[in-house]
Structure 1
Amino acid sequence: MPTLRSLAAFALALGPLPALAQDPLNVVATVGMIGDVVGEVGGACVAVDVMMGPGIDPHLYQATANDVQTLNHAALIVYSGYSLEGQLADVLERYGARVPTLAAAEAGIDRGQLIATDDSYGVDPHVWMDVSLWAETVPAVAQALAEARPDCADAIATNAADYETQLEALHDWVGAAVATIPEQQRILVTAHDAFAYYGRAYGIEVAGIQGISTQAEAAIADIRQTAQLIARRGVPAIFVESTINPRTVEAVIAAARDAGQDIEVGGELFSDAMGDDNTAEGTYIGMIHANTITIVTALGGTPPALPDELGDWSEKWAMAAE
């Protein structure tokens, strides 16, 4: 019968346990878009807990007692940065003094690539709307995860490379899809100004009823100005957002009809949060895919088929490639 000493010697001879046999790294992410990057890059080496789920507006979010418990058990905290999680800034700063913390967008995306604003933000934080920009967060996330779990470094590097390939293909597909919209109808009117990066990257004019943040209500002047734009351009559809009360959109529709332009709701877009968990839209790729299908179809375009690089993603979510 083997002794304890012989078993210990045998274990030492085997070397360290394989990465996947160890407990996953406990990572807390503020928003779903960040959480999805962490999950895709970390794979089985991470367990991701997202603070703000579907339908939650990060501009207005305040930490709860449950969040404090979650953060207390984090081995790594990852957030977007550039003031997206403005009301959580103090909380994240406090935890950053004792827990490894990464502002993924700030670490990966140079400030010179951002869209400047004239409000308290200084820059537009909705960088995930440009897939090519959001892909720049992947190396920063991969580095942070590999430093926390060096035994997983090879798997993390492979996952990161695969994910970057998918995001590059998604970026090209979105551009091709938007290009099918008739040029005079290539204008995206939404509840708040979260799509400026989408517009810049993919060649579509964007008009938000509210500004970058949702902390202040849209003024009557904002509603009137948007309605006049819609009537002047003959815009066929306006879009609501999953995290924004639709009443401002409804007010614009009424004002546009008073101005002689019949306009319909083109669908719901995901802006500051992804879709429900365990759905295609609950992934970053699915969020951008769903938004693009909704926008392009409502404005008169025809989305092309998804590229081969996204075949595994499409198959995973049992989707037919449009």
Structure 2
Amino acid sequence: MMTLACVVLIIVLTACSGTTGGGENDAGKVRVTATTGMIADVAREVGGAYVEVTGLMGPGVDPHLYKASQGDIRKLEQAEVIFYNGLHLEGKMTSILEKMSKSKLVTAVAERIPTEELHSGQATGGTEYDPHVWFNVKHWMRAAEAVRDTLIEADPDHKEQYTAQAERYLEQLDALDTEVREKIGQIPEASRVLVTAHDAFGYFGQAYGIKVMGLQGISTAAEYGAKDVSELRDFLVENQIKAVFIESSVPAKAMEAIIAGAAEKGHTVSIGGELFSDAMGPEGTEEGTYIGMVRHNVETIAAALK
């Protein structure tokens, strides 16, 4: 009987020691929850082996229209650190995240960018500022710095590691910015017109010298009508634009209607490819990382517009 009791006691103690307590999980990693895939990727790059990152929004998910499930709320509650974009990209989730900031570390990474460098979103039916800051790689470097600083605050024992990992990643982003600038520069100037499903690429256009037009406004929650379709169709015809682009997180039917309308007026427009705008590609693919997503977009744009 004594032997059986000892076995039971050992099992109980083992189970208890496996429960999560304090600020870290079983492996001693900081529990991080991020809203978008882009932010989750930055957290993994900067946090490395010292963080366990959970992303809420997967491939093809539109953050403008996203509604948090009960499972999402649990993930947010269980996190020690929460990263989100901010600037109202997450829509109705924003109020939940702001409430949670009163009891744990919550960082809106896009709000590290000075307001004078942000674009207004109101002119195209959005909120005060355009939240799509990741399309300017230099802006996203500031987001990476915000992730670094928050992780150091949450886990000061690994400050040196977070600093080194962030520095390595920032160097990669700086090289990416140069790469994007060079590839867009290879497109003939008259052909540098990027037409997409919604107006997500404003920062990209300004940073890399390409005119950007979107059927919908800053937010996909903004409705578009027949007038928007006809105006964009006429622009394509009048300017002899040969290609438009669909987005992985936005239905393609509107762009297909514009292509059909241009054809009725005797102008052929093709789909230049699918771009990743508000969501990255599937996990485990090159496009499932921020750097890979940017490269895919730029190569797709350059190939179609050259």
TM-score over 0.5 for the pair: yes
| CA deviation profile, 1:24-64 (whole Å, cap 9, x unmatched) | 11000000111111110010111110011110000000110
Show the counterpart of 2:287: 281
Moved over 2 A (4+): 117-120
Q: Does 1:95 align with 2:103?
A: no
CA distance in 1, matches of 2:43, 2:143: 10
Alignment-mate amino acid for residue 115 of structure 1: H
1:247-262 matched pairs, under 5 angstroms: 247-262=253-268
Q: Which ranges of structure 2 fall in alignment gaps of 5 or more residues?
A: 1-23
Taking only the aligned residue pairs, the percentage that are identical comes to 44
Is the CA contact (8 Å cut-off) linking 1:236 and 1:262 kept in structure 2? yes
CA distance in structure 1 between the partners assigned to 2:265 and 2:191 by the alignment: 18
Question: What CA distance in whole angstroms lies between the structure 2 residues aligned with 1:139 and 1:89?
Answer: 21
Query: Residue 126 of structure 2 contacts residue 217 of structure 2 at CA under 8 Å; is this kept in 1?
Result: no
- Counterpart residue number, 1:35: 40
Query: Structure 1: 5+ residue runs without aligned partners?
Result: 1-18, 301-322
Match of 1:145? 151
Residue 155 of structure 1 pairs with residue 158 of structure 2: no
| Aligned equivalent of 1:3 | none
d(CA) in 1 for partners of 2:144, 2:291: 14
Equivalent pair of 2:126/2:222 in contact (CA under 8 Å): no
Q: CA RMSD of the aligned region, Å? A: 1.3
Question: Are residue 104 (structure 1) and residue 132 (structure 2) matched?
Answer: no
TM-score, with structure 2 as normaliser: 0.89
Answer yes or no: is the 8 Å Cα contact 1:191–1:240 preserved in 2.
yes
Match for residue 113 of structure 1 among 94, 117, 123: 117
Instruction: Give the corresponding residue for 1:210.
Output: 216
Deviations 1:66-119 (A, max 9, x none): 10111121000010101111110111122112121011110x211110111323
In 1, Cα distance between equivalents of 2:303 and 2:165 = 32
Aligned to 2:226: 220
Once the 2 structures are TM-superposed, how far is the Cα of residue 293 of structure 1 from its aligned partner?
Answer: 0.5
TM-score, scaled to structure 1: 0.85
Deviation at residue 149 of structure 1 after TM alignment: 1.0
Give the partner amino acid of 1:99: K
Tell me how far apart the structure 2 counterparts of residues 175 and 120 of structure 1 sit (CA, whole Å): 27
Q: Per the alignment, in what secondary structure is the counterpart of residue 35 of structure 1?
A: helix
Which of 267-276 and 143-152 deviates more? 143-152
One-letter identity of the residue aligned with 1:48: V
CA contact under 8 A between 1:218 and 1:248: conserved in structure 2? no
For 1:65, the equivalent position in structure 2 comes to 70
* Structure 1 stretch displaced more, 145-154 or 112-121: 112-121
Work out whether 1:183 is the aligned partner of 2:189: yes
**Displacement after TM superposition at 1:159 (Å):** 0.6
| Cα offsets for 1:226-253 (capped at 9, x unmatched) | 1111111111111000000111001110
